Structure 1
Amino acid sequence: MRLDRELFRTIVAHTPLISIDLIVKNKEEMALLGQRQNRPAQDFWFVPGGRIFKDESIEDAFKRISREELGLEISLDKATFIGVYEHFYNDNFSGTDFTTHYVVHGYEVTLNEEELHLPLEQHNDYCWFNVDSLLKHTNVHQYTKNYFLSR
């Protein structure tokens, strides 16, 4: 369920958000990253993902987030859980007057590029990166790099 903007601002200002990040790889082991349009992490290359809604199971959230972020609904049993991560940002979706804290469940999936229908709501561009290049790239966010460093 999407929340009223002001209510969501209050929640982000006072509580951590629980989310899922999708570490998407292709057959060549390259990772899909999108260039974020919105805060936090605006303008950085980042993995697709989204928050889990209240009363939404992780399975249902995974399906919804994959559908919204990749244009392809994927069931959780097709993914590999890689861990829980924390992301701390100095800004938030509405500005810089408070921070954002995410508790992120990371899942890796391997997909065929042809299956994807990538939307432009959260990311204004997409690119497939080999792991070595994304780890060296200055505009790939450190939180995205951490998914690949920890493996």
Structure 2
Amino acid sequence: MDNKPQGRLDATTFAAVVHSAPLISIDLLVQNEQGEYLLGLRTNRPAQGCWFVPGGRIQKKETLDAAFLRLTTEELGITLERSQAVFKGVYEHFYQDSVFGEQPSTHYIVLAHQLVLPTEKVQLSVQQHDNAQWLKAEDILADPNVHRYTKLYFNGL
């Protein structure tokens, strides 16, 4: 059996998947030496226009380790192993919209992982984010422009 990831689906197939099933993703809680966390201003739906942690979907036939390597490379500009992160739990995100517009809605099962990295080593992807900022957990929780699903990661920190 071929265990290589199948890559991105065509738009029609992916829309059917989004409409019919939850997506599995990895979110990256990236902390710097000052105890601040990296957030990006999302340019795409869902969560467009909100501050959110970096991350992305796991592809078909992609192992968790391979997805983590790919996502850290694509999202942070640095290739990291999943073993370098601390698993922070499983979360569910329900959105009324999707990458396709107001319909279909999106359901994510999210595997949150925390990393501690020097600020200068990280370059947030501009494909998903318009801007980047580093904030302390208490500032994330107080900021009305940070998405509520991102805030869930920081409750209790």
Where on the TM-score scale, by shorter chain, does this alignment land: which range? over 0.9
2:84 to 78, 85, 88: 78
Q: Normalised by the size of structure 1, how large is the TM-score?
A: 0.98
Provide the aligned length of Structure 1 versus Structure 2: 151
Q: Is the 8 A contact 2:65 2:82 kept in 1?
A: yes
1:10 counterpart SS class:
helix
After superposition, the C-alpha distances for 1:96-118 in whole angstroms (9 at most, x for unaligned) are 12210000000000001111122
Q: Percent identity?
A: 46
Structure 1 alignment gaps of length 5 or more: none
Q: 1:150 to 1:11 in 2, by over 3 A?
A: farther
- The yes-or-no answer on 1:102 pairing with 2:108 is yes
1:131 pairs with 2:147? no
Counterpart of 1:23 in 2: which secondary structure?
A: strand
The reply on whether 1:57 has 2:63 as its aligned counterpart is yes
Q: Amino acid of the residue matched to residue 102 of structure 1? A: Y
1:150 to partner: Cα distance: 4.5
- Point out 4+ residue stretches in structure 1 off by more than 4 angstroms: none
Who is 1:122 aligned against? Answer: 128
SS for the counterpart of 1:66 is helix
Does structure 1 retain, via aligned residues, the 8 Å contact 2:95–2:106? Answer: yes
TM-aligned CA deviation for residue 130 of structure 1:
1.0
Q: Distance in 2 between matches of 1:77 and 1:114?
A: 21
Point out where structure 2 has 5 or more consecutive residues left out of the alignment: 1-6
Does 2:14 correspond to 1:8? yes
- Give the corresponding residue for 2:97: 91
Deviations 1:117-138 (A, max 9, x none): 2221000100001111110100
